């Protein structure tokens, strides 16, 4: 798998509840952890058994090494990481409440400088996210492998980029934002997550599978969608049937939510597998 995506260092504040506009709350504690949707999904796929290389950009600063620590330890191929000399490593400010709900604000930093060459994307599965420039997204989606777009964070995507995408993964809010600019009924496959209510998979506008996740005690939902996307991409690319693939993805996302941080330790493939 080749992942074209973002690398961040996350500053995470634990709060009893998410603050309202103009409100100041006292955090239970603050931690610094690796993140970035591209990095999260690359590491999730590697922990689920895939061979993964990450195409990303970081700054020439001390944050870069910290942001790449878990990827390196997890066996992700980092030879395609580019160093941006004029931009810092991306950062994210995250608030997590006692129910595992989050708010996230991102400073793209070096992620906004990412470029990727088409000839570097020779892989069975190519996955990208919207935390990198449009040109990098378009290049990834034109790759010859099984292509996956995690359309997050929500922003418009040109219709011609989506035409040949094999799988689009979004949450319900992101689905609405994407549907406002593109006819999603024309897409090969769209997976929509609904948090604790589960997920659905649509093909050419028709719902072909719906699944509820296992009940879990959520600690941090930051990486749940990333784990879901990585698991679903691997499952569908290996020709699992739709319902089994969606169930495996829901289990991976639910289990990720039981661990803190954007790159939580994931279970083995056997723990998210289904009979």
Q: What count of residues does the chain have?
A: 275
Is 239 annotated as a binding-site member?
A: no
Q: Is 197 annotated as a binding residue?
A: yes
Q: Is 238 annotated as a binding residue?
A: no
Residues assigned a catalytic role: 226
Residue 222 in marked binding region? yes
249 labeled binding residue:
no
Beta carbons within 10 angstroms of residue 238's beta carbon: 12
Q: Which two tokens stand for residue 108?
A: 């793209």
Q: Are 166 and 40 in contact (CB under 8 A)?
A: no
Annotated binding residue 198: yes
Distances from the Cα of 188 to the Cα of 11, 28, 239, angstroms:
37, 44, 14
38 is in an annotated binding site: yes
**Residue 67 contacts residue 92 (beta carbons within 8 Å):** no
The verdict on whether residue 261 carries a ligand-binding annotation is yes
259 is in an annotated binding site: yes
CA 185 – CA 136 distance, rounded (Å): 24
Q: Say whether 265 counts as a known binding-site residue.
A: yes
Q: How far apart are CA 189 and CA 203, in angstroms?
A: 4
Task: State yes or no: 111 annotated in a binding site.
Answer: no
Helices (H), the chain: 37-47, 62-73, 134-141, 159-162, 172-179, 224-237, 242-256, 269-272
**Annotated binding-site members:** 8-10, 36-40, 131, 171, 193-198, 220, 222, 225-226, 256, 259, 261, 265
**Annotated binding-site members for ATP:** 171, 193-198, 225-226
**Annotated binding-site members for substrate:** 8-10, 36-40, 131, 226
**Annotated binding-site members for K(+):** 220, 222, 256, 259, 261, 265
């Amino acid at each position: 798998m080749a992942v074209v995506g973002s690398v961040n260092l996350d500053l995470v504040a634990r709060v009893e509840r998410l603050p309202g506009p103009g409100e100041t709350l006292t955090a239970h504690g603050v931690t610094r952890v690796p993140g970035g949707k591209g990095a999260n999904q690359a590491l999730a796929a590697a922990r689920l058994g895939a061979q993964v290389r990450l195409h990303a950009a970081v700054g020439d600063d001390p944050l870069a090494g910290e942001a790449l620590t878990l990827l390196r330890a997890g066996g992700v191929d980092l030879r395609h990481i580019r160093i941006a000399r004029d931009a810092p490593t991306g950062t994210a400010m995250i608030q997590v409440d006692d129910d595992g709900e989050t708010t996230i604000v991102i400073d793209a930093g070096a992620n906004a400088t990412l470029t990727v060459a088409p000839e570097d994307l020779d892989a069975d599965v190519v996955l990208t996210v919207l935390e990198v420039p449009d040109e990098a997204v378009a290049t990834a989606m034109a790759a010859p492998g099984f292509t996956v777009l995690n359309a997050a964070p929500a922003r418009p995507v040109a219709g011609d980029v989506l035409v040949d995408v094999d799988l689009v993964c979004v949450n319900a809010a992101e689905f609405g934002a994407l549907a406002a600019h593109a006819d999603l009924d024309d897409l090969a496959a769209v997976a929509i997550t609904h948090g604790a209510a589960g997920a659905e998979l649509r093909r050419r506008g028709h719902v072909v599978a719906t699944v509820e996740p296992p009940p879990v005690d959520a600690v941090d939902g930051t990486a749940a969608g990333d784990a879901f996307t990585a698991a679903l991409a691997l499952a569908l690319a290996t020709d699992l049937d739709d319902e089994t693939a969606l169930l495996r993805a829901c289990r991976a996302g639910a289990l990720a939510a039981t661990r803190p941080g954007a790159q939580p330790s994931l279970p083995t493939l056997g723990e998210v597998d289904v009979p």
